[in-house]
Amino acid sequence: MDKKNDRPMLSPHACARSRRARVSRILALRPSRTPWLPKAVRSALLAACLCLFAGWSAMGAAAAAGPSKETPEAILKTRYQLVLELVRHTPTYSPPVASRSFAYLAVTAFEAAASGSPRLKSLAGQLNGLAPVPAREPGAVYDEAVVLEAALADATRSFFQNTGPTGQRAITMIARQLGAAAAAGVADDVVARSAAHGRAVAEHVRAWSLTDGGAVVENMGFPLTYAVSREPGRWVPTSLIRQQQAPLLPAWGANRPFAMPTGAACDLPPPPAYDETPGSPFYEEARELHAASARLTAEERAIARFWADDPMLSPTPPGHWISIAVQILEAEGAPLERRLDVLARLGVALADAFIGCWHTKYRYDTVRPVTVIRKLFDPAWEPIMATPPFPEFPSGHSTQSGAAAAVLAAAFGDPYAFTDATHEADGLPARSYPSFRAAAEEAGLSRFHGGIHFRSAVTEGLKQGACIGAHAVRLSTWR
Amino acid sequence: MPSLVVRFAACLIAAAAAAPAEAGGGPLVPRFVDETEASGIRSVYAGDWEYMVGGGVAAFDCSGDGFPDLVFAGGTAPARLYRNGSERGGPLRFQAVESGVELDRVTGVYPVDIDADDIDDIVLLRIGETVVMRGLGGCRFERANEAWTFEGGDAWTSAFSATFEAGSAWPTLAIGTYIDLDKGAMPWGNCAENRLHRPRVEGGRPARGFGPPVPLAPSHCALSMLFTDWNRSGIPSLRVSNDREYYKGGQEQLWRVEPGKPPALYTEAEGWKSLRIWGMGIAGADLDGDGFPEYFLTSMADNKLQTLADPKPSAAPVYKDVAFARGVTAHRPYVGGDIRPSTAWHADFQDVNNDGFADLFVAKGNVAEMPDFAAEDPNNLLLQAPDGTFVEAGDRAGVASTRIGRGGALVDLNLDGLVDLVVANRWKDAEIWRNTTAGAGHWLQIRLADDPPNRDAIGAWIEVRLADRIIRREVTIGGGHAGGQLGWWHFGLGATATPQVRVLWPDGREGPWQAVAGDSFQVIGRDGPPRPWTP
């Protein structure tokens, strides 16, 4: 037995070596440090991606001719494909807001399935404030695909409702198709009972979500009034966009987390104190970043671009890690319960990471590199990435990547080589990593290469993420 | 070049003293009277998802009486032509007439004289086949796709611009497309191909009619296009504003379109910076008097105002965003209390108070009940002050409608020298306002009469010398959102009663400076003095 399977909180399906070997062949999950995939592997990856969408199209065609029964695994996969698109096309979904929605969606799916599973253990009582979900009728027959689809359909509407007309249209069309496919061949009374239960679970989670402090986001998360600090070293606006003259979601760190006790549970020591004196730790960090920006390699630029994960132009940073998990689970052919376990833990860890990170960001309220470097070294300096409109320390991508890596390493093993094709549709080639930790470190460094974070924000962010991720890893999901 | 800056600043200061202004300071706020009810116009841009964009209106004279007529895209309803029956200076009056344009699935309308017969033709952007229609005079039109060998295709077309390439006997049309119609359920990342319809070549010689369309790949779901001579090279390039909601890996684009060569994108290596917005409309104007156009790009939340970073004839296409500094971000409703961000569509620069400074109108409206964006989203009328900043006056001017705006036209509909306003709305009636501003400055309206094939001198620059500075306009077709205008080019003159005017013709020939009377209409050809025209 692999060492990682000794951990009691993990799925019994985790990471058998034979499966890993098979998955590696399909998805090129190979223990290689080569950053770029060979063409043949890329083709295989692309084929795998195309298969996902082909399955979707086939489902639509089948619906026209009378749907065939769909598995819960396929329903879950399609639902995640949909929400990863919806997040990209919903302006309110800045990374913290997106992470929250992903978490509630995953918990809904998990609880819907756990309520009828002899093996899954409910997260009620483990996640802050989550009471037991409605129970199923004893002895009654349920269809798991119908339960899951009904729960996810409602959760999609609850947590991804701000999307535009095309997103709304997609939500409606997918719900119609998946609803019919889930119910195909199932007795009407079972469909009715199963759907009602799925909706009841979704409503239970939705009601729970309303009290976490993050349910209402106005003006895309930018407060209409905000007193920017005049103290040296504090954050000041860096954007020419009017909306971003106030920072994003300054109170997000006070939200109720999912698995960690409070937003302060994994707080960090302060970054180097603001000091314009040459030789001071702060000055040297700024000088390091300025110098590095002048000699960026093509590879470093590619890394910055790959992990940019810009809101409204990508699935966002938390969506990127969820995409990674979905790719691996799909390539593994993982059974439903394992998928739900991984996605719930990952969703929880990512959401907690943004709460914890935002808590620390607004505790220290530190200035961005672009402000410092223009003042100290070069008034015309431009980072290659757009500077996000909120305080610098720690790096949000680093914190959430550290958290994601902790969960995924616990779930799939460490090291676990994988290839990430999240951005192929945007013309960015897939990248390969020997481990989740390596990917997380690259994600963190992308912010340094991009010129939007000092090095300490990256290294400390990764540490914070590991701490936060451990809370999700400690959840007990198996009976 | 500091000396130029200083000189220009001096001009601004001098002009400020002469420009019409409010008693308490600031630009003169125009007065617009809503004449929708009595105007005779009843036009709704109708339809569901496929009509969430588009909804343009075109303004041009199809009757030959000098008064601009209007054609509205109808969406699922037929397009309609409204003939202008207004008296000079009087109330705005229109009458719907059967014209041949009554096609359904029309998203946008642009006028252009394609066959150089001095009668404007029109291009109908549609969901389905794009249709070019030949103007017959008397506001009658006939389909001309076959006669002009125009391949209308089958796409969701959403943007248009036209130019006349040197040496051609026929215009070049750029047609922008939106989402691939075959990807209805999951349209994201599926933008159909934009097309460039260049003149036909027969036996190696230019011929009448269009050749097979040239793809403008990559295409990123265009919602506005504009042929514009951004660097004053004499060869217009094609700006394309794209909707980031639907592309993957896309950005705003600038195409180099040189005669006899395939179109080529300006690249990052040449200075073009990636900009990814919900691009919906383009308006161009030389706002700072340096001879190079600024470009206002409509989007959601903040809008952009781009100015060349280093304006000179050999400039690289490097633009900086000065929307914040100039006060034209127009990112949120300014009346009504809805705090959510705005959604901007059609935009145009016109001088609505005749003070000699171009003002900016922006049509606003939610895409379709998008919860992240304002539902009550008033149109903007941003008045330019002599210092180059803009101040919102839509509410004070009376045009802060919160119907769901899409297309629009700022054009002098009753030929009284004051720019009027018409706005096309989604799901609601179009609106029309008459400009009745008292105390506005002098004005001048010019129509160019060039030789065939480019009868309207598209690509020319008109320069007007005021007492203390020169103002100028580029003669273009395209831009805005889903609708354009052709006809009189309006200039506000401020206190200058007798300006001088000259034309820089599309082939580079510089016309002479000639004095004309203010408050007049002038037709200018290549030879001879300007010809006064009276309605």
Q: What is the DSSP string of A269-310?
A: PPPSPP--STTSHHHHHHHHHHHHHHT--HHHHHHHHHT---
- Number of domains chain A is built from: 1
CA distance A165 to chain B (A): 6
pLDDT of residue B103: 98
Q: How many other CB atoms are found less than 10 A from the CB of residue A333?
A: 12
For residue A437, tell me if it sits in a domain. yes
**Subunit contact A165:B332, Cβ cutoff 8 A:** no
Residue range B208-225: mean pLDDT, rounded = 97
Helix count (H) and strand count (E) of chain A?
Answer: 15, 2
Residue of chain B whose alpha carbon sits nearest to that of A168: B370
pLDDT of residue B20: 85
**Subunit contact B300:A91, Cβ cutoff 8 A:** yes
Residue with the bigger pLDDT between A40 and B327: it is B327
Number of Cβ pairs closer than 8 Å across A and B?
81
Nearest CB to A170; choose among B185, B276, B331:
B185
- Give the contacts of A107 (CB within 8 A, at least 6 positions apart): A123, A127, A130, A205, A258, A344, A347, A348
**Distance (Å, rounded) from C-alpha B231 to C-alpha B312?**
7
**Subunit contact B329:A165, Cβ cutoff 8 A:** no
pLDDT of residue A16: 33
Nearest CB to B341; choose among A88, A161, A220:
A220
* pLDDT over 60 at B6, yes or no: no
Q: Look up the ipTM and state it.
A: 0.88
For residue A343, tell me if it sits in a domain. yes
pLDDT of residue B184: 63
pLDDT of residue B186: 79
Eight-class DSSP state of A233: T
Q: Are strands B442-449 and B520-525 parallel, antiparallel or unpaired?
A: parallel
For residue A267, tell me if it sits in a domain. yes
* pLDDT over 80 at B500, yes or no: yes
Q: Which of B408, B413, B381, B406 is nearest to B487 (CA)?
A: B413
**Subunit contact A240:B324, Cβ cutoff 8 A:** yes
Report angle CA A312, A308, A92 to the nearest 5 degrees.
25
**Which structural domain range is residue A445 located in?**
223-473
Residue B512 gets the label, from left (phi > 0), alpha (psi -120 to 50) or beta, of beta
Which residues 363-402 in chain B show a CB within 8 A of chain A? 367-373
State whether residue B324 sits within 8 Å of chain A by CB: yes
For residue A251, tell me if it sits in a domain. yes
Q: How many other CB atoms are found less than 10 A from the CB of residue A22?
A: 15
For residue A420, tell me if it sits in a domain. yes
Q: Are B516 and B444 in contact (CB under 8 A)?
A: yes
Q: Are B360 and B349 in contact (CB under 8 A)?
A: yes
Q: Are strands A431-433 and B514-515 parallel, antiparallel or unpaired?
A: unpaired
Q: pLDDT per residue over B10-61, tens digit each?
A: 444 444 445 788 887 899 999 999 999 999 999 999 999 999 999 999 999 9
Nearest CB to A164; choose among B186, B189, B370:
B370
**Subunit contact B331:A90, Cβ cutoff 8 A:** no
In the three-class reduction of DSSP (H, G, I as helix; E, B as strand; rest coil), residue B367 is classed as: coil
Length of chain A, in residues = 479
In the three-class reduction of DSSP (H, G, I as helix; E, B as strand; rest coil), residue B139 is classed as: coil
**Subunit contact A165:B52, Cβ cutoff 8 A:** yes
Residue of chain B whose alpha carbon sits nearest to that of A171: B185
pLDDT of residue B206: 82
* Chain B contact set for A91 (CB, 8 A): 300-301, 341, 372-373
The tokens of A42 are what? 């890329």
CA distance A389 to chain B (A): 14
Q: pLDDT per residue over B96-121, tens digit each?
A: 999 999 999 999 999 999 999 999 99
From first CA to last CA, the distance across chain B in angstroms is 44
Residue with the bigger pLDDT between A455 and B205: it is A455
Report angle CA A144, A145, A148 to the nearest 5 degrees.
80
pLDDT of residue A401: 98
For residue A178, tell me if it sits in a domain. no
Provide the CATH number for the domain around residue A417. Answer: 1.10.606.20
Residue of chain A whose alpha carbon sits nearest to that of B338: A219
CA distance A72 to chain B (A): 21
Q: pLDDT per residue over B452-496, tens digit each?
A: 999 999 999 999 999 999 999 999 999 999 999 999 999 999 999
CA distance B269 to chain A (A): 14
Q: pLDDT per residue over B133-152, tens digit each?
A: 999 999 999 999 999 999 99
For residue A280, tell me if it sits in a domain. yes
**Distance (Å, rounded) from C-alpha B22 to C-alpha B443?**
18
For residue A370, tell me if it sits in a domain. yes
Nearest CB to B249; choose among A53, A85, A426:
A426
CA distance B310 to chain A (A): 14
In the three-class reduction of DSSP (H, G, I as helix; E, B as strand; rest coil), residue B155 is classed as: strand
CA distances (Å), origin B44, targets B16, B60, B75, B429: 41, 20, 8, 5
**Distance (Å, rounded) from C-alpha A399 to C-alpha B293?**
44
In the three-class reduction of DSSP (H, G, I as helix; E, B as strand; rest coil), residue B134 is classed as: strand
State whether residue B204 sits within 8 Å of chain A by CB: no
- Give the contacts of A8 (CB within 8 A, at least 6 positions apart): A476, A478
Tens digit of pLDDT per residue, chain A (479 long)?
333 333 333 333 333 333 333 323 222 222 232 222 333 333 333 333 333 333 333 344 444 456 789 999 999 999 999 999 999 989 899 999 999 999 999 999 999 999 999 999 999 999 999 999 999 999 999 999 999 999 999 999 999 989 999 999 999 999 999 999 999 999 999 999 999 999 999 999 999 999 999 999 999 999 999 999 999 999 999 999 999 999 999 999 999 999 999 999 999 999 999 999 999 999 999 999 999 999 999 999 999 999 999 999 999 999 999 999 999 999 999 999 999 999 999 999 999 999 999 999 999 999 999 999 999 999 999 999 999 999 999 999 999 999 999 999 999 999 999 999 999 999 999 999 999 999 999 999 999 999 999 999 999 999 999 999 999 999 999 99
**Subunit contact B341:A313, Cβ cutoff 8 A:** no
